[in-house]
Structure 1
Amino acid sequence: TVSRVCKDLGCGDSGELETNLPFGRLSGPAWLDRVACGVRNISFWQCPSAPWNAQSCDDLREETHIICSGNSELQRPQHPSAPAPCWAQSLLSPDREKIRVVGGENGCSGRVELWHHGSWGTVCDDSWDMRDAHVACRQLGCGPALAALDQAAFGEGTGPIWLEQVECHGTEPSLQACWARPGDSGVCRHKEDAAVRC
């Protein structure tokens, strides 16, 4: 898991846990616990973990700090802000993990759209259910899902339909980590755009 984080940050291909905690305590909650990356996980965001929520890691001894080393000429996730040195990096969600909601009452309700291949596109509502909505809401940082909505409940999108037949278990860190069919089959139309209310 440590080497996976270092690789994603572009700060080396290996690393170790730092137990002396020279970095100070972070002010936000601990969101992840029991993260277990394997060799098949090509991104930290694909690593299995306990469900995302505010964890019980209140003790400073439970916070994870790492020191990366090794070859640092790896590609790190692109981010629109200016590049920062490794010591200042945060693990940012790469473009393929971007999500937004459109047309809702606030930033936690609306038509689900994903950023892929340089453009925003929608998700087909075929098999869309509360497990899928929970993952979308978690990815949005909006807490649990209140409703999984179908039939373009917040209006029809434009552009591509990126995913269809999404089948999440409910514990994945992102919709992109769930099983799904590519949305280019031509079966779905924007009148079937999926939406959430978190």
Structure 2
Amino acid sequence: MALFFFLIFGFCTGPGLLESSPKVRLVRGPHRCEGRVEVERNGEWGTVCDDGWNMKDAEVVCRELGCGAAKGTPSGNLYKPLADEKQKIFIQDVNCNGTEDELIECDRVEDVFDCSHSEDAGAMCDKSPPKVRLVRGPHRCEGRVEVERNGEWGTVCDNGWNMKDVEVVCRELGCGAAKGTPSGNLYKPLADEKQKIFIQDINCNGTEDELIECDQVEDVFDCSHSEDAGAICEKSSPKVRLVRGPHRCEGRVEVERNGEWGTVCDDSWNMKDAEVVCRELGCGAAKGTPSESPPKVRLVRGPHRCEGRVEVERNGEWGTVCDNSWNMKDVEVVCRELGCGAAKGTPSGNLYKPLADEKQKIFIQDVNCSGTEDKLIECDQVEDVFDCSHSEDAGAMCEKGQPDI
């Protein structure tokens, strides 16, 4: 059984834009990181028999394509239309250890026998984040085009740049229809002279899901930032929103269907789901998955919302916290729950005037956090407060959070 030792495959070894086209692809799936597995030989694409196909093999495919983690090994027949009967099956009995960077490095059999397209292999990977962005425009769907390679962002020379290329950029970013190919110089400030120009002569047919799939030249010559490419897409309206929170990037999750907004049940809701919501809304990193939007803690009477006397909420009423056992680990949790910066101190709540009214209740004492909790309510605490007065109210000092606007 001969192996593919005579084939020369120019695989990508990193997560950035490909320096040579991969010799594996996933087709007919919902995005480029899921579908029926195909490999290339001498310009021809063939399928992979699923004999011996497993998660370790899928891990290598996902890595080679610059996708996320391997999620499954579905049958290739799930992805319609099915492979044409005339299409060849190139390999079978693939045996990867899961650490290879390219499928060509894995043991496999080239002399395929007793296998049909009903046994085509499939792979499911996490969809990779876009490797393209539009900067300095009025919104995320318009601006100067930049592409990512090995963690560095560079511009695109506008040689050959046209509407088909913009259509792909708009699709990859989840924006609306392509509207124009403006000069990147319209978007100020201009690209720094030290920033590299990564690609030129892009040639998309307009149907690709990602710019990385288009023909392109990476040896850029005779091009300057005065020729940077730009793109205008219709600004897409998010189908998700966060409501009743302190700002647009925090709150109760609602989704839109046929013009009507509804909520999302929190069964199985986790940080991965929150990450997608934050990305769709153009917010920053996901910070938590609270079951109710507003925090159950606040800092009052301080110079900003990230410093002051600590108050907690119970049944719509706000009460203070006795400072018995109150320490920096407890403050760390308060700062995290409020979306503030690092914990800086545990001042007396009496520093913040006016003092708590004598009629205001003291809700908890003897708080004992490990410092890793997301909310103060998750920490051990005593709710039957005794022998404590407002002269012992707890305070917290965090780094001032970034303004919401």
CA distance in 1, matches of 2:81, 2:154: 32
**Which residue type is aligned with residue 217 of structure 2?**
R
Q: Is 1:157–2:191 an aligned residue pair?
A: yes
**Which residue type is aligned with residue 131 of structure 1?**
K
CA distance in 1, matches of 2:196, 2:223: 10
Change (3 A) 1:144 1:176: same
Q: Which residue of 2 aligns with 1:16?
A: 75
Q: Is 1:106–2:139 an aligned residue pair?
A: yes
1:15 is displaced (CA, Å) by 3.9
- The correspondence of residues 1-198 of structure 1 with structure 2, limited to 5 A, is 1-3=35-37, 6=58, 7-8=61-62, 11=70, 14-16=73-75, 71=96, 73-74=98-99, 91-93=126-128, 98-150=131-183, 152-155=185-188, 156-158=190-192, 159-185=195-221, 187-198=222-233
CA distance in 1, matches of 2:140, 2:210: 17
Gaps of 5+ in 1: 20-31, 40-69, 77-88
CA distance in 1, matches of 2:145, 2:73: 36
Q: Is the 8 A contact 1:12 1:74 kept in 2?
A: no
**Which residue type is aligned with residue 223 of structure 2?**
C
> Deviation digits for residues 39-91 of structure 1, max 9, x if unmatched?
9xxxxxxxxxxxxxxxxxxxxxxxxxxxxxx7572469xxxxxxxxxxxx852
Q: Is the 8 A contact 2:135 2:142 kept in 1?
A: yes
> Deviation digits for residues 6-55 of structure 1, max 9, x if unmatched?
33155489542698xxxxxxxxxxxx97597x99xxxxxxxxxxxxxxxx
Q: Is the 8 A contact 1:111 1:152 kept in 2?
A: yes
1:146 match: secondary structure: strand
CA distance in 2, matches of 1:151, 1:98: 18
1:149 match: secondary structure: coil
CA distance in 2, matches of 1:72, 1:110: 43
CA distance in 2, matches of 1:134, 1:12: 29
**Which residue type is aligned with residue 73 of structure 1?**
G
> Deviation digits for residues 123-150 of structure 1, max 9, x if unmatched?
0111111111111111111022111112
Identical aligned residues as a percent: 31
CA distance in 2, matches of 1:141, 1:35: 27
The alignment covers a number of residue pairs equal to 141
Tell which deviates more after alignment, 155-164 or 3-12: 3-12
Normalized against structure 2, the TM-score is what?
Answer: 0.30
Q: Is the 8 A contact 1:10 1:74 kept in 2?
A: no
1:108 is displaced (CA, Å) by 0.4
Q: Is the 8 A contact 1:123 1:163 kept in 2?
A: yes
CA distance in 2, matches of 1:35, 1:101: 36
1:197 match: secondary structure: strand
**Which residue type is aligned with residue 207 of structure 2?**
T
* CA RMSD in angstroms, aligned pairs only: 3.6
- State the structure with more CA Rg: 2
Q: Is the 8 A contact 1:125 1:194 kept in 2?
A: yes
Normalized against structure 1, the TM-score is what?
Answer: 0.58
Gaps of 5+ in 2: 1-34, 39-56, 63-67, 89-94, 102-123, 234-405
CA distance in 2, matches of 1:174, 1:33: 20
